[in-house]
Structure formats: C-alpha cells, structure tokens
Amino acid sequence: MKREDALEYHARGRPGKIAVVPTKPLANQRDLALAYSPGVAEPCREIEANPDTAYQYTARGNLVAVVTNGTAVLGLGNIGALAGKPVMEGKGNLFKQFADIDVFDLEVGSERPEDVIRFCQLLEPTVGGINLEDIRAPECFHIEEELRRTMNIPVFHDDQHGTAIISGAALLNALEIVGKDIAKVRVVFSGAGAAAISTAEHYVQLGVKREHILMCDRTGVIYKGRAGDMDRYKARFAVDTPHRTLADAIRGADVFVGLSAAGALSGDMVRAMGPKPIIFALANPNPEILPHEVRAVRDDAIVATGRSDYPNQINNVLCFPFIFRGALDVRATTINEEMKMAATRALAALAKEDVPDSVAQLYGLTSVKFGPDYLIPFPFDPRALLWVAPAVAWAAIATGVARLAVDREEYRESLEHRLGRVRGIMRGIINRAQADPKRVVFPEGEDPRILKAAQIIVDEGIAQPILLGRPPRVREIAAKHGVSLDGIELVDPGTSPNRDRYAAFLFECRQRKGLSLAEAEQRLYKGVYFGSVMVAIGDADAIVGGIGKHYPETVRPALEVIGAHHVTRLASGMYMLVFEKHVVFCGDTTVNIDPTAEQVAQIAISAAGLVANFGQVPRVAMVSFSNFGSVKHPQAQKMAEAVRIVRERRPALIVDGEMQADVAFDQIELAARYPFARLKEPANILIFPNLSAGNIAYKLLTKLGGATAVGPILAGMAHPVHVLEQNADVQDVVNMAAVAVIDAQWRVRTTSGSYVPVGTTAETAVPSPTPANPPTATASAGSR
C-alpha cells in the first residue's frame, strides 16, 4: 500500500470518510416548521417529561461516540488527538457499514485521564454508547473502569476487549480441534499492553488457569518480585517462575498469543512448543511470525493472524459493531463480562455451522469447513450480525442491565432488514478474483488511471495486468504519477513479435467480411484490436477497455474478433447497481436496441448466470408498463412470451412478468394482488423490453437514485470482454478487472475447446438465428 494511495483515498471528493446524513425531509416550509421552530418544541417537552422518549424522538439510541486522545494510535504511538482523527473516522465507517450504527468521532485534546473521563461523562445525554479507542495503557484501564462505574450507557474499549473476544472464540475452537483441556493448557503472551492484559483476563474467564499464563513485555517475563516496568494491571499476571525470556517461557507451551511486534517469535521457539501448538500471531501489519514460517518447522500447528491474506483472521470488526448493536437495541446500561462472553461463544458456535456457498464465494472458495484453517467466521460473513448481536442482547437482558426487552424472532428479522445482503459484495468479488488471478489486458495502457489501477491490481493480487502501449511512454507516465510497474507486463502493439501471428488470425476471422491482410496488420496498431486478438488466441484471459472512448469503439472490435458465444449467439450489456441495502442487475442496457422475445429470454438467462457467478440467487423480473396481461400491447406481450421461453429452458430459475418495475420490488403487493407470482422476494435482476428503457433506467438510478454502477458487463461473449465508462476512475477500473477475472474463472471448457459462461449450456441456451444487431447498430445503441 503506497503512501500516495492512502492520502488520495482520504482526500478524494468530500474530504474524510464520514458525513452526517439527514433522515427526515426538509423540502418545504412545513418540513422546516416541523424540523425546527416551532414544531421541534414538542419532542423537547416530551423528553423533559420522560427522558426515555429521547430514544423515540432523537437519534441517541443509534449513536455511538468514538473517543480518543491519540496517545496510542495503531502502531504510530502518541501522535496526538488531531492526527488520530483519520483512524476514528475509519472506525465510524466500520460501525455504519457492519452494524448500521451512526458515529460521532471525538478527539480529545488532553493526555490527562481525568479530562477524558469528564469529557465522556458530559456526553451521556448525547449518545447511546461510547467506544474508547487508541488510548495508551495503563491509563486506558482506569478511564474505562471509571466511566463504567459512573455512567449508565455502554462504554467499551475495543483495543482491550475486541481482540480478547474474537481470539477467545478462536481459542475455544482450536482447543476442540487439537483435543486439549482449556483448564490444563499453558499460554504464553508476547506483549503486555491493553489488548494483551484484557485478552489474558478473558481467557481466565473462559477457563484458562491464571497460574498457567506467562506474560512477557519488552523487559521479559513478568514474574513476582520484578522491580522494573510494572503496574497493578501487569501485576495480576506476575507468577513464580524461573523463566526470564520469551524463549524460556515458550518451551513446552500449548498456546502462543502475540500482541507485540513482527519477528518476536522465531522458528526455534515454535519448534520448542508442546505438541499441536496453537499460535495467534496478531501484531499488525506484520505478525510475530508468518504462517509459512511456522509450517517450515511444525506441521501440527494451528495458526491465526490479524491479516486477511492468511486463514483465521482475527479482526476486531467481528466484534465491536455487533457488541454495540446488541447493547443499543436493548438500551443496556453497560457492557458486562457476560455480554462479552456471549459474543465469544456466539462467534465460536457460528464457525461450526455449515458455511453458505454465498459466503464461501465472497472469499473465492468453493467450500469452507470448520477446522484448522477455519476457526472463526470471516469478517464479511453477514451471519455474524445475526449471531453476535442477539447473543449480546439476550445476555444483557438475562443479567438485568437491559432497559428494553425484545422478541427473539422479531429482533433477528429486524437485523436482517437493517443491512440487507449488499454489504461487502464488491469486496467479495475481489476476494474471489484473488483466489485465482487471470491475465487481463488493458488496451489503454498509457492512461494514468489504468496505470494506477494496474498497480493496485498487482498489489492486491486480483489479476496479472497486461498494458498495451509504447513502453517508454508508459514508463514516463508511470514515473510522473509515482506508479510502480513491478508485476505489470508491457506490450507494444506496434513492435510485438506476435504481430504476424495476430494479423494472420485477424485476417482469417474477417477475410470474408472484406478485410485484407494488410488491413488486418494496420488494425493491430489499435490497442483494442490487438488486445481482442490476444484474448481470442489465448494469450490473455480477458480484456477490459474503453476508458476515454465511446462505447462502440471498444465493443465493435471485440464483436468482430471475439464475437458472441456459439451457443448463446447473443451478446448483451449489464450494469450492477449497488444501493445502500440492495443490489440490482439491469439488462440489456448497452447492446440490443429492440430484442425479440427469444432474445429477451437469452438476455435473462445470461444475466441469471452472471448473477449466480457473483454469489447471488437470481430473481428475474421482466419489466414492462403492464402487470401480468393488464395491458394488451405487443411490447408487454413480448415480455410475457420471454418469461414462457425462459421457464421452458430454465425451469428452476425464479423469473416472472411481465410486471411494472415497482411491483418487482413490492413483496406485499405481489402476494396480495398476484398470489400466483413466483417472485416471493424483491427481484435482483430487471430485464427491460428494449435498449431505450434499460439505458434510461440505469442512468436515472445512478444519477437520481444514488446507486453506484459497476459496468457495463458484457454477457454472452465467447471470451470475457468488459467495457469501462469513458470517465471511469481508478476504483472503477479495479472493480471491472475483478469482474473480468471472475468471468474468466467461471468459464468451463467444452469438448470443442470453446468457453461456455456458467449458467448457460447447450440445453438451456436460447437459439438465435442471427445476431440481434450488427456492430453498426450496436455502435449507435451503446453510447454512454
């Protein structure tokens, strides 16, 4: 991760990572009178008479203050309150994304614990809870203890308890796998800061004997009688022992917990541990020892780290959003030990459940099973909210610290609807791409956006980028923009040794379409032709192009060289529209001007296969201005006929219509007025009757509806071809590269050696006697 990338990310658009968004309309004089004077006086009077009504009339019940004084920020140390603000904003972003909790990040300009304590106490009327963050030890212990004693809202220091709760779940499951008794295991800690001390205390609550814990800090083992570098919190773990160093302490140990620094644990130390050792190397960004270094000396060890690129990631995001969600929803007065324990046991139990394919696919895996490489749930597993928050809420109710009781089933249902299923969909696509990167060629290799994206693609292991352009010019632009070309292949279409071979291939493809060999050689100077031939001939797996160009300039060469798949015989364009709480795929939005019923059916089948490849269950609505025959018109009848064709060829596919767009998302109206409809949940695929409708709809949804558009995604091509918007930014390029990689991954070889998109087979594809539109028609239709 480059410094410039991180700075650009934070400065892009509106500076920072969070904003305050109004939840009520303010469109006219009446709204103004209700929102402020005189109408606002009424809820004020109600709250004065009954303070609990603040949860009904204000945002307090869903608002958490993230408070720091900047004395222990990440691995940066005491950098001050202001410098710590980006971290606190990031924390707020995670609260919102993972648990729909609103946050005020508050940086306190004082290192005195008494000031932080008083500041938080004065916040009690404002917020429903306080998350303490990045406050150094031992002051953080005193601050949290005093606030919990004096306040009647949840106070939680995530640096202490988050790691404790999540690693505690991993410990329980790891011990079960290796068959060891928690009361008998010996645990060694490297590090004695806030996280280490809290984690050790949590392990004691789980059943580890205090006398079986050896804790080491910079000075060495914490033992009884040690004079230097001690405080009352470390003293809890001072034991009678002859050991003085980590190397001494680790001999014969069953568990190592690293909360210290990279390289603290050596291979020799791992070799000296007891049988079937459990190693939690949790220093960030670089752990005390890397998993492959453990494997080099022990094949019986279970390893967890804090990193996402290794199995068993112990990440605090599995804890703090859900702890606060459960505590806020029952208006808990505190977060007690029972609530923390409930979170630990909920995470441990969830890891033993069957992992849905949709979750496994988010991480590019075909199957996930409880075992040495899967001790705890993935951070982007949407089930974590549904397991942890209710467990915390029930524990609060059971221990008498909740002020509100909730119905179990109703509460789980409310959590389901709070976030929907959209969270992390793009991250999931990227994770799957990382599991099996493919070669992706970019025709516009001299564009700075492509260069910057290519570096990110290499850094994140998404694909193997091939940039087309003049290498000296590419290097000049890369140097100007601080882009490293390591891992990026540069190919010059003008001087490539493959020009003759590619020209012969292009000539063979187009010789009966009026193209001469000389013209084929000339066209290869254009990157999009050269790249398309690379993909068609097998020298690349996918092409992503079109930045700064009109849509037809990219699609026409791809259709000429690669063409539609021989089974589908129809290319179509899709957009994935990502809203706050749901995702909708729209087609055809870019290619076919006025498709026939059979072509509409094929567009729907291709779209369903694409959506299934993205880990979603396809639910297709054929949209029109008519609902199930309410209007007799050829356009409406075409969509109804398309439904019939799809059902004939794909009986298991959830598809219905024709229907109006609003009905496609209204489960209640569908059930009440059209009980025969097969759609029982809102559609996630909208198929339009013509290009005008599809193109207009997706643009309105992005410009007025606030959707983020990913696309256009070409479906039905013989090989992966994906087109960028003219004004695409760097992240758009990265996203589309990930989509292209997944497209390439999920194509299977037929006996003829050609690719078939997943979800389309010879039996289910809809025959099309001729392409829907020749390239010239596509060119006029597909402008963006």
Q: What is the DSSP string of 679-727?
A: --S--SEEE-SSHHHHHHHHHHHHHTS-PEEEEEEEESBSS-EEE--TT
Alpha helix segments (H runs only) across 251-308: 267-272, 291-295
**CA 645 and chain centroid, separation:** 36
| Token digits of residue 199 | 């984690």
CA 732 – CA 724 distance, rounded (Å): 8
CA 168 – CA 149 distance, rounded (Å): 25
- Is 85 within 8 Å of 107 (Cβ atoms)? yes
Q: Is the dihedral of CA 69, 166, 61, 425 positive or negative?
A: positive
**How far is residue 492 from each of residues 262, 487, 606, measured CA to CA in Å?**
42, 16, 34
188 burial via Cβ count (<10 Å: 0-12, 13-18, 19+)? buried
Strands laid side by side in the 438-442 sheet: 489-491, 463-468, 438-442, 542-545, 721-723, 708-715, 572-578, 583-587, 685-687, 619-623, 654-659
436-460 burial code (b ≥16 CB/10 A, e <16):
ebbbbbbbbbbbebbbbbbbbbbeb
- Residues pairing with 132 in the sheet: 67, 157
- Is 526 within 8 Å of 557 (Cβ atoms)? yes
Quote the strand ranges of 114-191, DSSP E.
129-132, 155-157, 187-190
CA 194 – CA 707 distance, rounded (Å): 41
- Is 206 within 8 Å of 344 (Cβ atoms)? yes
Under DSSP, the state recorded for 380 is: T
- Is 708 within 8 Å of 698 (Cβ atoms)? no
Three-class secondary structure of residue 373 per DSSP:
coil
530 burial via Cβ count (<10 Å: 0-12, 13-18, 19+)? buried
632-670 burial code (b ≥16 CB/10 A, e <16):
eeeebbbbbbbbebbeebbeebbbbbbbbbebbbbeebb
- Is 421 within 8 Å of 375 (Cβ atoms)? no
The CA angle 405-172-187, to the nearest 5 degrees, is 125
Query: Hey, which residues are catalytic here?
Result: 36, 91
Give the closest residue to 630 by CA, choosing from 666, 659, 670, 596: 659
| Token digits of residue 476 | 């000049």
The residue assigned the tokens 């956006």 is 449
Contacts of 609 (CB under 8 A, 6+ apart): 618, 715, 757, 758, 759, 760
Strands laid side by side in the 102-107 sheet: 102-107, 63-68, 129-132, 155-157
**How far is residue 308 from each of residues 255, 292, 370, 379, 622, measured CA to CA in Å?**
21, 15, 18, 9, 40
Quote the strand ranges of 555-698, DSSP E.
572-578, 583-587, 619-623, 654-659, 685-687
- Is 330 within 8 Å of 336 (Cβ atoms)? no
| Token digits of residue 427 | 């991250």
Q: List Cβ<8 Å contacts ≥24 apart for 407-415.
A: 411/329, 412/386, 415/325, 415/385, 415/386, 415/389, 415/390
| Token digits of residue 60 | 């307090």
